[in-house]
Amino acid sequence: MESDWGSPRFVAEQFHRWYQSNARAIPAPTEIKQREFAFLQFGGKTMFRHIGFPDELTFQRYLKDNGPAHSYHSSSYYQRPEADMAGKGWVGADLVFDIDADHFDLPCQHEHDTWKCKNCDEEGTGKHPEICKCGKAAFEEETWLCERCLQAAKHETQKLLDMLIQDLGFSPAGDLVVNFSGNRGYHVHVRSPRARDLDQSGRREVVDYILGTGLKAEYLGFNLRAKGGRSTLADEGWRGRAGRALYDYIASTPPEEIKALKLGRKITNLIVNERDKALTILEESHPSILLKAVDLSDDEKLMSDLSKLMEIAVKSQAADIDTVVTTDIHRLIRLPNTLHGKTGWQVQTIELDGLPDYDPMTSAIAFRSGEAKVYVRHAPKVRIAGAEYGPYTQEAVTVPMAVALFLLCKKGARIEP
Amino acid sequence: MLEREAAKYPFLTEAAKLVDALNLQLDDLASPAYEKVLDRAAERVVQAIEDGAVDDALDDYMTELLSFPIAVMFVSAKGEPFLNRRYALAEAVRVYFLLQDEERDKLAQIARDDFGWALKDSGERYDGVLHDFRLHFHDYLRSSSSFHEDKWKLVNRIVKNGYVLLTQREVARLIQGEAEILIKDRLKPVKINLPEPIQRRLDRVSKVFEENRTRLGGEGLPSEVINEAFPPCIRFCMEGLLAGRRASHMERFALTSFLVTVGMPLDSLVDLYTSVSDFDPAMTKYQVEHIAGVKGNRTKYTPPLCDTLRTHGICRNKDDICERIKHPLSYYRIKARRLAYQKPPLPPQASNITQQSQ
Ligand code: SF4
Ligand SMILES: [Zn+2]
Ligand SMILES: [Zn+2]
């Protein structure tokens, strides 16, 4: 029976038990009285929203009593969090960032993600197409994860943190909270008076900054009229980042790829055939020298070629955040340290210093004892707490509880009675 | 605060206090002693409507200072969002003129003491340009929120440790931005009965506003420009502009060169730009004329090819005509011909940009 997959009642019971013993260790978010909370139960379709808590104890009791599948709180602060949207009285909002490997294009997705058209049975790996060959756009998806997607998400998170700290000046100790999202990514919360009252257009500017959107190299040193100066590679902010991005791009891109861009003859020649010269200029001199080394006869063509190059190059330095989450000033975001109903893992707050070595597949495991027998319809190989499991296809296995819950939450298995 | 300072920057809290201290009532203002004040108040609004900038006359401090709140009252009484924007901007432009002559310390004082900005001294040189100041990005984003040029985008600034590096000129421009916000905030709709001498000035303001309304709204364009025949990319640029979206250089270039080529008069174009946002009228005029080939190297620019527009993400909502052409102007020609077959020519007022975009 289709609906059996995932054995929601079994999982709900496990979650409930976990909350019974762990709820009191879950700290309430700061300024709890001004936050809206929202929860989803297993098997439930409606979200319980507009919930407010007067204090931490009431909040923890709610978790303990209900053992929710998914728990959220508002990034915003409200005068009346329990009122409907119009009556809430927005006071401000943390600046939040969502980095989710779901949005990346990664080779490993073809190994562990599959899709199937609900209409014509067409199927494939990786991300499903926007529209199926048959013209319909309804798909069944199976998305798993592996060390590589988690690593990619962590890498983007580190770039983001670098910009938030070095460029925007937020304090790693006081302003920033980093959470493993419980699935394929990370959330960064910025709690600072200087972030709180930013309006939507201000937040959009921050998003553009993090993504390098709208970057024009001519304002970052790549300007023919600039009166000299030093190399920008070691400079702060996007000035340095843009220079380094171009440097890396020139140093590491195969000639065919550069030629395919169909840039001007002289610029192509400089960065393909005289690559070392171009790199030396960037290392030792002001970027305007590089432009002058190309050609001075057609400024406009030169600058448009440069922006073509930059647009590609900048991606390596930008951090791949979800734009909607950050610009939405009424966003609900996962409650740190609760459980994620699609993995059975814990949404975990991570010390900034600990991030480089953080491994969610070891640390975020909530269910550390017991085992269960499950029948797996399909699961790729996963590595949990240092041991490998699977791949499984239509077989019954007895595995540690954490693994069982992961397979169940992903709907790839059901409890074998 | 000195009267002279208050007259220059009447929107600051300190200046408002000075006015409050006089405890003037509406009826007092109706007395002949305040004729000059009332005239100057009306003039401020009229200049805003007609020129897009209030002049920076300073020969009579009290008149300058007192005429400001009355001008604000006039604009508020009209309750026209469009006039609000235009007036706030025109006053802000006046502030910018005045700031040009101020010492660096005076700028810093307004920014820090009156606006509460986290503005610090700097002295770093980048690309040969001295950056006198650094401003916290939080204050920067707010004060620059109505600016549309690429150079104001945060990503194109030098940002370190939370601070944006700025030249003295740029700080003056940001103060202008903040002044615009502050003035706009004061323009709240009011309903009051005004004594006759004051009402008379308001009537004059209303008359000027009505006379200019069409021109400023971008209406009344010649009927030979067929807006309905604009290709989707140009509509996209136009709608973005009217909606106040930050237009990229390419968007503006595409739009301007297209409109010039299809025969929109340069003045209407300049009005169109300056009416919808913070474009500096003089600068806009220069740019428009440059693209039209009147200024600069005298090349008349034609709009870019579809290919180029596609690269810049401006080619949007393609339709069947788009499949047959390589240039937006070809689109315009084909569509115009089609429209001519389909229906009789539209009366002039039905084919204007404002309606087109709604
Ligand atoms: S194809 Fe050309 S005319 Fe059509 S929308 Fe794209 S750029 Fe505009
Ligand atoms: Zn199909
Ligand atoms: Zn993976």
Smallest CA–CA distance from A261 into chain B, residue: B311
Instruction: Please identify, by atom number, the ligand 1 atom nearest to the C-alpha of residue B323.
Output: 1
Nearest of B255, B262, B256, B258 to residue B224 by alpha carbon: B262
Whether B355 shows a pLDDT value over 50: the answer reads: no
Is A45 among the domain residues? yes
Whether B353 shows a pLDDT value over 50: the answer reads: no
Query: Are B151 and A194 a contacting pair at CB < 8 A?
Result: no
Residue B294 Cα to ligand 2 middle (Å): 57
Q: Of B234, B262, B306, which is best to mutate to test ligand 1, by the most ligand atoms within 8 angstroms of its C-beta?
A: B306
Residues A70 and A45 in one domain: yes
Q: Which residue has the tokens 């508002």?
A: A74
Distances in Å between the Cα of A164 and the Cα atoms of A63, A172, A178, B151 are: 32, 9, 12, 21
pTM exceeds cut of 0.80: no
Is A209 among the domain residues? no
Residue B287 Cα to ligand 1 middle (Å): 24
Q: Chain B within 8 Å of A199 (Cβ-Cβ)?
A: yes
Residues A304 and A173 in one domain: no
CA distance A321 to A103: 9
Of A254, A283, A317, which residue is a domain's last?
Answer: A317
What is the structure's pLDDT at B346?
A: 43
Whether B95 shows a pLDDT value over 50: the answer reads: yes
Q: Of B309, B319, B324, B329, which is best to mutate to test ligand 1, by the most ligand atoms within 8 angstroms of its C-beta?
A: B309
Residues A241 and A265 in one domain: yes
Is A3 among the domain residues? no
Confidence of residue B239 (pLDDT cuts 50, 70, 90): confident
Is A298 among the domain residues? yes
**Segment holding A96, helix H or strand E:** strand A95-100
CA-based nearest distance B323→chain A, Å: 22
Q: For Cα atoms B58, B64, B68, give the angle at the middle one, nearest 5 degrees.
A: 140
Q: Chain B within 8 Å of A194 (Cβ-Cβ)?
A: yes
What is the structure's pLDDT at A206?
A: 96
Hey, is B130 helix, strand or coil?
Answer: strand
Residues of chain A with pLDDT under 70: 1-3, 296
- Read off the pLDDT of each residue in B291-295 and give the average, rounded to a whole number: 66
Q: Chain B within 8 Å of A220 (Cβ-Cβ)?
A: yes
Residue B347 Cα to ligand 1 middle (Å): 27
Q: Which residues of A touch B163 (CB under 8 A)?
A: 169
CA distance B329 to B335: 10
Instruction: Please identify, by atom number, the ligand 1 atom nearest to the C-alpha of residue B310.
Output: 7
What is the structure's pLDDT at B341?
A: 67
Query: Are B248 and A214 a contacting pair at CB < 8 A?
Result: yes
DSSP B135-164: EEHHHHHHHTTT--SGGGSGGGS-EETTEE
Is A42 among the domain residues? yes
**Segment holding A375, helix H or strand E:** strand A371-379
Structure ipTM: 0.91
Best mutation target among B127, B250, B312 (most A Cβ atoms within 10 Å) is B127
Is A119 among the domain residues? yes
- Name the token pair of A130: 């926007």
Instruction: Please identify, by atom number, the ligand 1 atom nearest to the C-alpha of residue B319.
Output: 4
Give the number of domains in chain A: 4
Longest dimension (CA), chain B: 71
Residues A338 and A391 in one domain: no
Smallest CA–CA distance from B135 into chain A, residue: A168
- Name the token pair of A91: 């006071």
Smallest CA–CA distance from A168 into chain B, residue: B162
Please confirm whether the linkage preceding B32 is cis (ω < 30° from 0): no
Highest mean pLDDT among A347-361, B6-20, B48-62, B344-358: A347-361
Query: Are A226 and B154 a contacting pair at CB < 8 A?
Result: no
Residues A365, A406 contacting (CB under 8 angstroms): no
Looking at per-residue pLDDT, the higher value among B342 and A229 belongs to A229
**Residues of chain B above pLDDT 90, percent:** 32
Q: Can you list the positions of beta strands (E) in A105-239?
A: 114-117, 123-125, 139-142, 176-180, 185-190
Residue B299 Cα to ligand 2 middle (Å): 54
H-helix segments, A96-196:
109-112, 147-162, 193-196
Query: Are B159 and A168 a contacting pair at CB < 8 A?
Result: yes
Confidence of residue B295 (pLDDT cuts 50, 70, 90): low
Domain holding A158: CATH number?
3.90.920.10
- Across the interface, of B153, B160, B248, the residue whose CB is closest to A236 is B160
- Name the token pair of B76: 């508020």
Residues A166 and A78 in one domain: yes
Residues A77 and A129 in one domain: no
What is the DSSP code (8-state) at residue A7?
-
Residues A77 and A173 in one domain: yes
Q: What share of chain A is helix, strand, coil (3-state, %, to 5)?
A: 40, 20, 40
- Read off the pLDDT of each residue in B176-202 and give the average, rounded to a whole number: 88
DSSP A286-301: -HHHHHHHH-SS-HHH
Residues A375 and A361 in one domain: no
Hey, is A186 helix, strand or coil?
Answer: strand
Residues A184 and A230 in one domain: no
CA distance B27 to B37: 14
Q: Which residue owns the Cα nearest ligand 1 atom 8?
A: B233
Residues A405, A14 contacting (CB under 8 angstroms): yes
Query: Are A170 and B155 a contacting pair at CB < 8 A?
Result: no
Residues with CB under 6 Å of ligand 1 are B 231-233, 306, 309, 315, 318, 322, 328, 331
First to last CA, chain B: 47
Residues A231, A285 contacting (CB under 8 angstroms): yes
Query: Are A168 and B151 a contacting pair at CB < 8 A?
Result: no
What is the structure's pLDDT at B294?
A: 64
Nearest of A225, A253, A218, A224 to residue A239 by alpha carbon: A218
What is the structure's pLDDT at A363?
A: 93
What is the structure's pLDDT at A2?
A: 45
What is the structure's pLDDT at B93?
A: 86
Whether B278 shows a pLDDT value over 80: the answer reads: no
CA distance A40 to A91: 26
Is A359 among the domain residues? yes
CA distance A91 to A82: 14
Hey, is A94 helix, strand or coil?
Answer: coil
CA distance B213 to B211: 6
Range of the domain at A378: 369-417
A14's CB contacts (< 8 A; 6+ apart) are A344, A367, A401, A405
Nearest of B138, B241, B183 to residue B13 by alpha carbon: B183
Query: Are B156 and A216 a contacting pair at CB < 8 A?
Result: yes
Smallest CA–CA distance from B248 into chain A, residue: A214
Residues A83 and A117 in one domain: no
Burial profile B147-172: b = 16 or more Cβ within 10 angstroms, e = fewer: bbbbebbbbbbbbbebbbbbebebbb
Residues A411 and A352 in one domain: no
- Read off the pLDDT of each residue in B161-186 and give the average, rounded to a whole number: 93
CA-based nearest distance B49→chain A, Å: 28
Q: Chain B within 8 Å of A255 (Cβ-Cβ)?
A: no
CA distance A152 to A410: 21
- Read off the pLDDT of each residue in B80-93 and give the average, rounded to a whole number: 85
Is A211 among the domain residues? no
List residues of chain B with CB under 8 Å from any CB of chain A. 125-129, 136-138, 141-142, 145, 150-151, 153-163, 246, 248-249, 311
Distances in Å between the Cα of B246 and the Cα atoms of A214, B65, B216 are: 10, 34, 20
Q: Of B234, B235, B312, B322, which is best to mutate to test ligand 1, by the most ligand atoms within 8 angstroms of its C-beta?
A: B322
Looking at per-residue pLDDT, the higher value among B296 and A336 belongs to A336
Residues A18 and A42 in one domain: yes
Q: Chain B within 8 Å of A200 (Cβ-Cβ)?
A: no
Where does residue B290 rank: exposed (0-12), middle (13-18), buried (19+ CB within 10 A)?
Answer: middle
